[in-house]
Chains A and B, each alone.
Chain A
């Protein structure tokens, strides 16, 4: 019954949100419409992806035939409520600062016995090939949703957490690649746009950082699937014409640490819904 209802709402939304390549004024009108329509979380297709993630999370899998229920996201093994809101953080067992997704990789290797390559070979569903979300995307959506409504508040006590923030900030301002871009080029000032796409200022506008970060992971209408922060970090680096940023790499975690600190204090509103 719930799924039927979700299905119908999703269809209506899909019609409402059907965006042309470059939408022009229509895109702006639609933005209003979808904010209103999406107060209902059951109408957000991301909810269904999270449901699939919950099943995957609780199902014994991998060479060790174990579920992820013993994975410690920072608040203790299996404690999910509020854990995502306090990531990235330092983990003693891996000796690293990890965001949600690099933490999932660690747990899938340690608890379930997968190899690093098995876990990271295919992490993003490809909308251009009509694929659905990968398992790790669905699981990330599920775990993150358990922090819905809680303020973003990653710890900044351990020396490595402080270092990750400093490195993330430095990387935010580092120009490289054939376009000479840094994150700052596009996200360094208020009220800028690329074509018609509005760009958040994450260097000095707390509200921009909060509005952005509180809604990741998100259902991306233009992709027709859930997208995570690792995917967004990869995406902007791809737009910078750089090689692929490795999933869960130190640079990706450092950037997410910086962005999360810039957004500190705002309540998560998950699953998000974006263009």
Chain B
């Protein structure tokens, strides 16, 4: 694997989100404790309430303290930690089936809980990528929180380094960009490694409608 391009992509992503400027903490310890306490009393235990979802891991706590503008040193710690978390499909193939990937790119996250309107926990989960990213030219109902990914593979090619970057970015966006607004879909258990490999193929494969 060539790692050069990956770090280049990561650098580009960093500058694009303006994370260069180191910032002061916005939440001091006292305020953080107050917010944690307010959250604890506002989401009561009960039927179908999974309170473990409120737990913030070290990375997200750091993002919260700096309102996502983390200083360089902490950003480097985050990307290193998140990179370590990445898992790969058992067969080692990072390029799956683009047709399945097309489905998982489109399908919603599901996974909603509570008593008012929970999803069926057995409901198959997708990455809901269209919520934030364009992809196939014919799909007009795309969101704009993330950059458009139309022509992704056509622009970048389908080399091993691009495949690996794409897989890892979807698995854990913060492996490249500390405090990225993109959910860590593999790391947080929304998508399996196999589904991520399928979505990778959907973005990268020359056969995929994304690149037609």
Known: A192-B145, A241-B109, A241-B113. A175 touches B64 (CB 8 A): yes
**Among A126, A167, A175, contact of B56 (Cβ-Cβ < 8 Å):** A175
The distance from the CB of A119 to the nearest CB of chain B, in whole angstroms, is 15
User: 8 Å CB contacts to A: which residues of B155-209?
Assistant: 181, 183-184, 188-190
- Is the Cβ of A171 less than 8 Å from the Cβ of B43? no
Across-interface contacts of B22 in A (CB, < 8 A): none
Determine whether the beta carbon of A195 is less than 8 Å from that of B116: no
Q: Which of B37-85 contact A (CB under 8 A)?
A: 38-39, 41-44, 46, 49-51, 53-56, 60, 63-64, 67-68
B198 to chain A, nearest CB (A): 20
**Alpha-carbon distance A79/B41, docked complex (angstroms):** 31
| A-side contacts of B56, CB under 8 Å | 175-176
A241→B42 contact, CB < 8 A: no
Question: How distant is B5 from chain A, measured CB to nearest CB, in Å?
Answer: 26
Residues of B within 8 A of A151 (CB): none
Main secondary structure of the interface of B (DSSP, over half): loop
A170 at the interface (CB under 8 A from B): yes
Known: A176-B54, A179-B188, A192-B144. A238 touches B114 (CB 8 A): yes
Q: Is the CB of B116 within 8 A of A234?
A: yes
User: Does B142 reach chain A (CB closer than 8 Å)?
Assistant: yes
Expressed in whole angstroms, the minimum distance between the Cβ of B67 and any Cβ of chain A is: 5
Contact mask for chain B residues 86-130; partner A; CB cutoff 8 A; 1 contact, 0 none: 000000000000000000000001011111110000000000001
**Is A177 close to B, CB under 8 A?**
yes
Residues of A with C-beta under 8 A to B117: 126, 128, 238
Which residues of A lie under 8 Å from residue B13 when comparing CB positions?
none
**Which residues of chain A (160-202) have a CB below 8 Å from chain B?**
166-167, 170-171, 173-182, 184-186, 191-197
Residues B183 and A180 in contact, CB atoms below 8 Å apart: yes
A-B pairs under 8 A by CB, number? 129
**A192 lies within 8 A of B43 (CB):** no
A171 contacts B114, CB within 8 Å? Answer: no
Is the CB of B21 closer than 8 A to any CB of chain A? no
Q: Is the CB of B188 within 8 A of A242?
A: no
B141 at the interface (CB under 8 A from A): yes
Which residues of B are found within 8 Å of A24, using beta-carbon distances? 140-141
Complex partner residue of B132 from A194, A196, A241, A251, CB under 8 angstroms? A194
| Chain A hits for B181, CB < 8 A | 185
- Residues in B with CB closer than 8 Å to A170 are 27, 31, 34-35
Sorting the interface of chain B by its residue count into under 10, 10 to 19, 20 to 34 or 35 or more gives 35 or more
Contact B49 A180, beta carbon cutoff 8 Å: no
Contacts A171-B35, A176-B56 given; does A185 touch B112 at CB 8 Å:
no
The smallest beta-carbon distance between B126 and chain A, in angstroms, is 13
CB distance B38 to A244 under 8 Å? no
Contact bitstring A14-26, B, C-beta under 8 A = 1, else 0: 0000000010110
Cβ–Cβ contact B189 & A176, under 8 A: no
Chain B residue nearest in CB terms to A231 = B116
Task: Return the chain B residue nearest A25 by Cβ.
Answer: B140
Q: Given A178-B53, A178-B188, A192-B144, is A246 in contact with B131 using a C-beta cutoff of 8 Å? A: no
Which residues on B sit within 8 Å (CB–CB) of A186? 145
Let me know if B26 is at the binding interface, CB within 8 A. Answer: yes
Shortest CB distance A122–B (Å)? 10
B contact set with A: CB distance below 8 Å: 26-27, 31, 34-35, 38-39, 41-44, 46, 49-51, 53-56, 60, 63-64, 67-68, 109, 111-117, 130-132, 140-145, 181, 183-184, 188-190
